[in-house]
Each structure stands twice: as structure tokens, then as C-alpha cells.
Structure 1
Amino acid sequence: MPTNEKQQSTGNFSGFAPYVATKGEEYMGAPMRAHFTKILNKWKQDLMQEVDRTVDHMKDEAANFPDPADRASQEEEFSLELRARDRERKLIKKIDKTLQLIEDEEYGWCESCGIEIGIRRLEARPTADLCIDCKTLAEIKEKQVGK
């Protein structure tokens, strides 16, 4: 990255400057899709590296402790790591689905009402598939059903 560009954070994605649309630029045109493709691919790469680190850590740290308390602590630690990796595995699937939407030129529009989700919302949550209004309504309905 050239030295005159500041590294900024976009959501959880360090190294990506917020997208600045040019005057008259079409929403989700090729440059915008390329921006989100880079963000999603970097996020996926980071998640995959974390999976590899977990596997290496579990191999390196696996020990047969004679003390049941030590063994239980290790098993609990591994269980927590595996749950986190399972959530990340599901997120990787969602990232892949989102990358396919970009490729199909269907990314960036609300699945519920069809309006633009918006660049800032997508930068904060690149896998978002609902606009903020539909997401808010869905959460309200979820809370009502949950009671």
C-alpha cells in the first residue's frame, strides 16, 4: 500500500479504507463489487488461518494428564476452541454464499424488500442480506416469538 494512504479499519477488516464512490457511480458496479470481494476474501483467509492455528495448537498441546482436573481443564479449553471454530466454519459458508452473490451481481440488495442495503452497512457487515429496516423488524419479531 502506498505510504500516502492511511490504513483504516472498515468494520472488523483492517487494512481496508472505506469505499468512496465516484460522482454518478452506479450502486454495486464493478469497482464496488471488487472492493467487497477483497474484504470478503481477506476475512475468509483470516478465518482459515485461525482454523489452521487451532489444529496446530490442539496437536501441540494434546497431553494425557494424569491429574483428572488438569485433563478436564484441557478438554474444556479444546471444547471452547472447537465451538468457536464451528461458528467460524458457518461464517466461512456464509462468506462463500456472499461471494457467489457478488459474482452473480445480486449482492447489495435486501432479500426482503429489494432496496439497496447501503455501502456503510455492508462494510460493517459484508455478509448482510437485509437492509437495516428489515433487519430491525426481523429482530423485533424474533424477540416477540422468543417470549
Structure 2
Amino acid sequence: MRIDTRVEINAPASLVREKLLAFSEHADWNPFFTSIELVGCDIRDSDSQVKPGDRLKVSMKDVRSGKVSTFTPTVLSCTAKKFEWRGSLIGQWFFSGIHTFEFLEKDDSQKCVLLHHETFSGIAIPLLRPLLKGTQTNFEAMNNALIEVCENGC
């Protein structure tokens, strides 16, 4: 099962990536991922130095119900073009999600196309499918907030 979103942001891809990786600022603008922190790793000068293998502590808030849950995914990729993590419940065989942000340059690097998607797998998908129905709405709310913070600094 996969959920896909795509938005165009009137800002360079490097700025969009910078805002997304400024974990300490998520509480100020992100209605979905309200908190993201690096856990169990060396202190770094900035969140943008995240590397594969790092663990994150992510709090996500359903924009409709307000319910908050926390999970600890592992970073799979953190490049200029892609930021990706994997979270799982019990184990990857049971329920797993690979959450991906891709930053594509457009119009001589003045705009960014953000591909924001997640691929879910595991034997629990049929049981958890009803709980995943709001995921598209949550992604869209986050994308719209990211557009606002990148284009207007709000």
C-alpha cells in the first residue's frame, strides 16, 4: 500500500530541504509531525547532518482527531535530493512504512517539486488499513504548511 502526494513550492529545493530538516522548528509550523528529534547519537551542529542509520523520535498528530502518537524510525537516506526513514511496528514483517521526501529542482532551481510518499508493507496491512485512511489528509496538511513556511517564512 502506498500513499503519494506531490506539491510545487516556489522556493529552491535546498531551502525546502533545509526547512524540513530543521527538526527543532517543526512545532512552529508542522501540523502533522509536531516533533522530530535525533536520538542516541552524537550531538551535531545541525539537524541537516542527519545520516543513514540515525534514529529519530517522531511525534505525529492526526490533523482531524488530534490524536498524537510517537515512534522511532531509522533514517535510510539523507541526501540533497531525498530524505527517507523506516518505521515499524513489532517488526518489518508485521507492519513497516518507508516515509520519503524527494526534492526535485524546477525552473532553473527557483522552484521545488516535493514528492512526499510512504510505502506500507507487512502482514498487518489489512487490519491497519482503516487507521491509515487519514494519512493522505495528514500529508497534505503538512505539505501545505511547508509551502507556507518556505514561500512566506510563516
Normalized per residue, the structure richer in helix is 1
Query: Would you call these one fold, judging by a TM-score over 0.5?
Result: no
Normalized per residue, the structure richer in strand is 2
Task: Kindly name which structure, 1 or 2, has the bigger radius of gyration based on alpha carbons.
Answer: 1
Bigger RCO (CA 8 Å, 6+ sep)? 2
